[in-house]
Amino acid sequence: MDKLAIIGGRPLYGDIPISGAKNSALKVMAAALLSDEPLTLYNVPRLADVDMLLRLLEQHGTASSFEGSTLRLHAKDITSTEAPYDLVRKMRASFNVLGPLLARERKAKVSLPGGCAIGARPVDLHLKALTAMGAKIELDEGYVFAEAPEGLKGADIAFPFVSVGATEHAMLAAVRATGTTTIENAAREPEITDLAECLNAMGGKVMGSGTSTITVEGVAHLHAAEHQVLPDRIETGAYIMAVAATGGELELKGARADLLGAAWAVLEEVGINLEEIDGGLRVKRLGDRCTATDIVTQPFPGFPTDLQAQFMALMTMADGVSTIKETIFENRFMHAPELGRMGAKIAVDGQTATVRGVARLKGAPVMATDLRASMSLVIAGLAAEGQTMVNRVYHLDRGFERLEEKLQACGALIERVKE
């Protein structure tokens, strides 16, 4: 199992290209199942999660080619409507093939996704949306058996709380349903808009993305299309916090300020200078240390839960005391004890963590518990005194493309150690 060895204390200078958004790429990839014509996607990151979903799409009969960051998919014929446990269990986003298979083939058998280290994250909202569109659904031995012999029908769907995955799943199914579907209390994340733009490029009629009400007029057929995946806002935020922790100055190529939402103001508040430049963002820390501030994770445009762990790492080295309240997922403070091994002062009480900034962190062996927690440990290691060894880096490979290569190019002493 690979590890990352980091010698901290070096400021970061240079350019980092921001990859395509993993959370968007996975959903637009699933859209390929909706059409018997080719879908070409640009700016797709080379990640373990992308590879896993690609294997699942191939299992359904999708032909593919991956050259650089260009992914070509062609699901001319669906050869299997079953998504087996061995593939779906490895990644939650795989479950979103259910809607496209059901919309196109009128039946599907998809494994329920496996457990998640950061909470239960049930799929009941996904299933209720499909049921509202006329699907008959049964659960048996860990599988969802779904059928819609007459095809899916447009419906009014009102989610009791905001769910990015359920919103995306409803959109994927509704685009080929008969009639009009209205999704109330829809998620407003940029990845929702990116999916809508892809579906519309394929001939879909999705309106209102980026607002809390999305309307989808179903169409009988989707055609060939090209789509460029938006830049990864979580990767952008992570590298902003890395330079904030270490000092230095970075240009984040391809990054977009509008995708950061409330995180932009928070990062400026703690003492980071963010400047929009042609083709990206320029980032540097003002002063020797950041200033502590409080955050509450919220759906977009609020502070994203996927940047909470990285922000906690930054606050361990800030002047003052900060509180971090996690409102999206339970069990998402598992990185706190690992940061504590490096000298951080963090007290967790339920869904709130209180972080008292220390003069410096010290390198230590630490263990990643999930994707975003992994990056928090990397940020801490880059700023810490001495060597940090991050174990279980397969989590990082799921969501950060060429991480050590990008950081090495900016002066970081980081390397992958193979056991």
Place of tokens 């199942």: 33
Is 116 annotated as catalytic?
yes
Task: Please tell me whether 92 is known to bind a ligand.
Answer: yes
Task: Please tell me whether 346 is known to bind a ligand.
Answer: no
Identify whether the C-beta of residue 255 lies closer than 8 Å to the C-beta of residue 248. Answer: no
Task: Please tell me whether 125 is known to bind a ligand.
Answer: yes
Task: Please tell me whether 403 is known to bind a ligand.
Answer: no
What is the pairing mode between strands 387-391 and 365-367? Answer: parallel
**Which residue among 116, 198, 290, 410 is the active-site one?**
116
Distances (CA, A) of 338 to 190, 285, 386, 407: 31, 25, 16, 22
In 3-state terms, what secondary structure has residue 103?
helix
Task: Please tell me whether 43 is known to bind a ligand.
Answer: no
Task: Please tell me whether 328 is known to bind a ligand.
Answer: yes
Task: Please tell me whether 299 is known to bind a ligand.
Answer: no
What is the pairing mode between strands 225-228 and 213-217? Answer: unpaired
Task: Please tell me whether 345 is known to bind a ligand.
Answer: no
Run of H or E including 242: helix 233-246
CA–CA distance, 115 with 357 (Å, rounded to integer): 33
Helices 124-132 and 164-174 pack at an angle, to 10 degrees, of 30
Task: Please tell me whether 306 is known to bind a ligand.
Answer: yes
Run of H or E including 190: helix 190-201
Contacts of 9 (CB under 8 A, 6+ apart): 246, 383, 384, 385
Task: Please tell me whether 392 is known to bind a ligand.
Answer: no
Partnered with residue 407 across adjacent β-strands are none
Residues that constitute the known binding site for UDP-N-acetyl-alpha-D-glucosamine:
92, 121-125, 306, 328
Residues that constitute the known binding site for phosphoenolpyruvate:
22-23
Residues that constitute the known binding site:
22-23, 92, 121-125, 306, 328
Write out the catalytic residue numbers. Answer: 116
